[in-house]
Amino acid sequence: MGDQHNRSRRRLLAGASAFGALGAARAFAADLGSSGALGFTELPDGALAGQVLFSLPGKLPLIKKTYRPPNFETPIEYFRTAITRNDAFFVRWHLAGIPEIKGDQWSLAVGGESAERELKLTLADLREDFKQAEVTAVCQCSGNRRGLFEPHVAGVEWGVGAMGNAVWRGVRLKDVLARAGVKGDALEVVLDGADTAPLDKTPDFVKSIPVEVAMDENTLIALEMNGKPLPHWNGFPARLVVPGWTGTYWIKQLTSVKLVSKPESNFWMSTAYRLPRGRFKTPSFKSQVKETNEPITTMVVNSLVTSLRNGQQVSPGKAIDVKGIAWDGGSGIDRVEVSTDGASWYAAKLGRDLGRFSFREFSFTVPGRDQGALVVMARATARSGETQVEQLIHNPAGYHHNVVQRLYLEVV
């Protein structure tokens, strides 16, 4: 413990002096989407310089990462509540061809060699012929926080906002699959959306999930988000919702669902969205495991402090409110602990439980301090026992960043 304490103290001092050199004004200026301003390692300088606030039609100003295909991040202020509003929800597309779909012209094809029969379902069919179901769940891009990787890795250089939490309502995928008839040899369910690549040679964005995940009662074809139709940019009129699993599987503008008996082998399954095998404790997607790597599956436990900025000045004796959100891959949040020295950790108060797949709010009050520097850290632990890591678990594609946040404050 002595060692750990000393290490934390050294980090605290290093952070405090870095802050001193930077100066308070600089720390607060131009921190749009800056991960450094949140106490993390900073985004690549080119990513930081290229970011602007921009409103896509129907959306609030979000942090532009790329215009085409559109990749936009949710600013931190929208994470001060457990539910993320639709018009602030992040936008992530792989391919630039995104059709504007009219609800009455859309239909969903259900079939595949492991289905007894083929179906074609309209929105009215889904609303009227199936029991409606609801789940509150976090949708987080696999690469959320990729920009915080040190050393940096190529890709969309997301800060902390490629995620959101919503109440999803629609029909259970298992009910739709049951209507088509699931044969005994069904191994995966292959999902395709209406988006297309500008070049014919580019692999279409198609993903698969294990049949047992498809048959989970929480896996939905969502038609509504927070009580409203899905925004165009978030997959109108229907998207898959796979609670606990990263956003890559949440196919938007869903047009095709196929039951298959062999592993889906397109680029987006066999090459992209993979982790070095065995580096994380998340569940394996067994039919897709290769010798050296395996697909990303569920999210790792994580948290985000939304009430403080790195380098923030506080008055002596004034209590410091530490507020934020925590989430994991579906076991639910057991506790969030806050520390101001890296050695002693105190339980934060948890907010209302909106279900095991949801953001969970937390709050903690640090008693007022005398003049000097302090660090504030928050660490979430899931009911599975998994806790946030001290050191980044590096991987080539930049997934699963859940390093404990360290915010340096100055009492002056």
Partner 1 sequence: MKTPAMTAAALLLAAGVTSAQESKVQLKDGPGRDKVNSCLACHSLDYIQMNSRFLDKAGWTASVNKMINAFGAPIAKEDVDVIATYLTQNYGKLPQ
Q: Which residue has the tokens 């940096």?
A: 152
Question: Is the CB of 257 or the CB of 407 nearer to partner 1?
Answer: 257
Q: Which residue number, 206 or 350, has a Cβ lying nearer to partner 1?
A: 206
Q: How far is the CB of 283 from partner 1 (least distance, A)?
A: 27
Between 122 and 363, whose beta carbon lies closer to partner 1? 122
Pick 44 or 229: Cβ nearer partner 1 = 44
Contacts to partner 1 by CB under 8 A: 44-47, 49-50, 54, 56-57, 64-70, 96-100, 151-152, 154-157, 192-204, 255-256, 267, 271
Q: Which CB sits closer to partner 1, 97 or 181? A: 97
Tell me, rounded to whole angstroms, the distance of Cα 400 from its chain centroid.
9
Q: How near is the Cβ of 156 to partner 1 at its closest, in Å? A: 7
Q: How far is the CB of 33 from partner 1 (least distance, A)?
A: 11
Q: How far is the CB of 56 from partner 1 (least distance, A)?
A: 6
In the chain, what is the greatest distance between 2 CA atoms, to the nearest angstrom?
72
47 or 380: whose CB is closer to partner 1?
A: 47
Pick between residue 67 and residue 346 the one whose CB is nearest to partner 1: 67
Min dist CB 108 to partner 1, Å, is: 11
Cβ 267 to partner 1 shortest distance, Å: 6
Q: How far is the CB of 39 from partner 1 (least distance, A)?
A: 21
